[in-house]
């Protein structure tokens, strides 16, 4: 018998078929249906199922089974439908899907007919072959059940192991969180311990200071007691002397009472000093504790400031070192420059000295040439004068015109004496400004 109904399909939905033969074997098959539609309720809501008639498989033994194909519906439509009314394109799509469903149903019917034919053929073949020996698979059932139970047990064990792994992972995460928390707490406690150690050191210093003050007060007390004893001894000696001297005076002074009064007075003073020291010690201790409590933040800020100043100092020291190295390099370059310029200055001084020597030599040569020039000029002047004199003599000038430096006058004449005239001519040969030769000629008249 075959029953059909219309189901809902969604995009990329799956249609599963289930075929279960009587032998206990089962498998799943899936048919992918593409498209998205909502088929109108033609034959009523529900699922579409195709059930074939029962058939038997021979192969030497008879098997009876059934073939069932279920198409599960219940998917949402991909198109919006209100009151069963659809648009034009949606109607065409739905019509196309209905046609495809009709063709699919025809194929199902054809497969059912082929299945019926195969059942008939198998039944006929089974009849022709006759009943064969029946195989007994009952001894495999126990093994199968054992294996199935083992598989189930292994699956449960695997699930337990996975659960234990998850629990261990969670426990590890919890322990990691606790470890980080404890580590942070440990670091904070160590920081507090370091701070308390610093406070303890400060309190130790304060206690040492106070102990030193107590020791000084004790020494002062011992010193006061010693002075008291000395004063008591001096007073006793004075009182004893007075008794010896003033035997007939008024009744003697009660020394024991005076000593007791002085002892009480000094004990009161010592007690007062002790109380004052204790009060001062406790007041200083309380004041110190208050200062420690109130100045902790200032100490922290001071330490941070000190660290900041220390970093600044380190930076400044680094900068100072760089500046010092730069200064050293500049000093080295300055020394090199000084040395180079000193060498250049020495060379220039040597050049100046050589030039001065050359200049002095040139001056000497110029002086010598000047002297030679003066000599030559004098010679020239004398020669010009002699030439002029000779010219005048040749022209018949008077005899009294003569060259003064070259004419040597005679002695003055006296009455009754004669006079004579002497003319001296000097010839000088000059070559390139130098005197080569010279000679004189004397002419007397």
pLDDT at 164 over 80: yes
Instruction: Give the residue with greater pLDDT, 31 vs 329.
Output: 329
Q: Which of 32-36, 229-233, 275-279, 366-370 has the lowest mean pLDDT?
A: 32-36
Instruction: Give the residue with greater pLDDT, 419 vs 181.
Output: 181
Most confident of 30-39, 78-87, 155-164: 155-164
| Pairing outcome for strands 27-33 and 13-19 | antiparallel
For the chain, the structural domain boundaries read 13-135, 136-240+254-294
Q: How confident is the model at residue 151 (pLDDT cuts 50, 70, 90)?
A: very high
Looking at residue 45, what is its pLDDT? 39
pLDDT at 413 over 50: no
- Cα-based angle 249, 250, 255 (whole degrees, multiple of 5): 105
Looking at residue 271, what is its pLDDT? 85
Looking at residue 251, what is its pLDDT? 54
Burial environment of residue 195 by CB neighbours within 10 A (0 to 12, 13 to 18, 19 or more): middle
What DSSP string runs through 35-48?
S-B----SS-SS-E
Q: Which of 105, 126, 104 is nearest to 56 (CA)?
A: 126
Average pLDDT over residues 46-58: 37
Looking at residue 134, what is its pLDDT? 61
User: Would you say 349 and 341 are in contact if contact means Cβ atoms under 8 Å apart?
Assistant: no
Q: How many residues appear in the chain?
A: 445
Looking at residue 435, what is its pLDDT? 65
Provide the mean pLDDT of the chain. Answer: 71
| C-alpha separations of 163 from 11, 59, 151, 158, 176 in Å | 37, 48, 18, 8, 20
Q: Which of 357, 421, 431 is nearest to 393 (CA)?
A: 421
pLDDT at 78 over 50: no
pLDDT at 317 over 60: yes
Instruction: Give the residue with greater pLDDT, 158 vs 301.
Output: 158
Q: How confident is the model at residue 259 (pLDDT cuts 50, 70, 90)?
A: confident
């Amino acid at each position: 018998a075959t029953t059909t109904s219309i189901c809902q399909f969604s995009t990329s939905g799956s249609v599963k078929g289930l075929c279960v033969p009587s032998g206990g074997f089962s498998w799943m098959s899936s048919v992918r249906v593409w498209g998205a539609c909502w088929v109108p309720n033609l034959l009523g809501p529900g699922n579409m199922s195709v059930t074939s008639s029962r058939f038997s498989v021979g192969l030497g033994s008879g098997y009876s089974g059934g073939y069932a194909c279920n198409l599960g519906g219940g998917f949402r439509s991909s198109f919006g439908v209100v009151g069963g009314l659809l648009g034009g394109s949606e109607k065409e799509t739905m019509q196309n899907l209905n046609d495809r469903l009709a063709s699919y149903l025809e194929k199902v019917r054809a497969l059912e007919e082929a299945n019926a034919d195969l059942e008939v053929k198998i039944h006929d073949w089974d009849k022709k072959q006759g009943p064969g020996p029946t195989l007994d698979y009952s001894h495999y059932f126990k093994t199968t059940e054992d294996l199935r139970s083992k598989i189930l047990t292994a699956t449960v064990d695997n699930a337990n192991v996975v659960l234990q792994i998850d629990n261990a992972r969670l426990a590890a995460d919890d322990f990691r969180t606790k470890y980080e928390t404890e580590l942070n707490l440990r670091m904070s406690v160590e920081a507090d311990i370091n701070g308390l150690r610093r406070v303890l050191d400060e309190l130790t210093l304060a206690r040492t200071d106070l102990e030193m003050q107590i020791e000084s007060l004790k020494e002062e007390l011992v010193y006061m007691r010693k002075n008291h004893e000395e004063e008591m001894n001096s007073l006793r000696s004075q009182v004893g002397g007075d008794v010896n001297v003033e035997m007939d005076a008024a009744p003697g002074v009660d020394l024991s009472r005076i000593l007791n009064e002085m002892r009480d007075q000094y004990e009161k003073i010592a007690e007062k000093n002790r109380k004052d020291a204790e009060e001062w010690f406790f007041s200083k201790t309380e004041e110190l504790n208050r200062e420690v409590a109130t100045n902790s933040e200032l100490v922290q800020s001071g330490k941070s400031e000190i660290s900041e100043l220390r970093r600044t100092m380190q930076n400044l020291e680094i900068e100072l070192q760089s500046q010092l190295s730069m200064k050293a390099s500049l000093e080295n370059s300055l020394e090199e420059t000084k040395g180079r310029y000193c060498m250049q200055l020495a060379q220039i001084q040597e050049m100046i000295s050589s030039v001065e020597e050359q200049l002095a030599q040139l001056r000497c040569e110029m002086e010598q040439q000047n002297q030679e020039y003066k000599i030559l000029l004098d010679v020239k002047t004398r020669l010009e004068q002699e030439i002029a004199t000779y010219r005048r003599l040749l022209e018949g000038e008077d005899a009294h015109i003569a060259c003064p430096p070259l004419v040597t006058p005679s002695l003055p004449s006296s009455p009754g004496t004669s006079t004579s005239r002497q003319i001296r001519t000097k010839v000088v040969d000059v070559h390139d400004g130098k005197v080569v030769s010279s000679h004189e000629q004397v002419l007397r008249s």
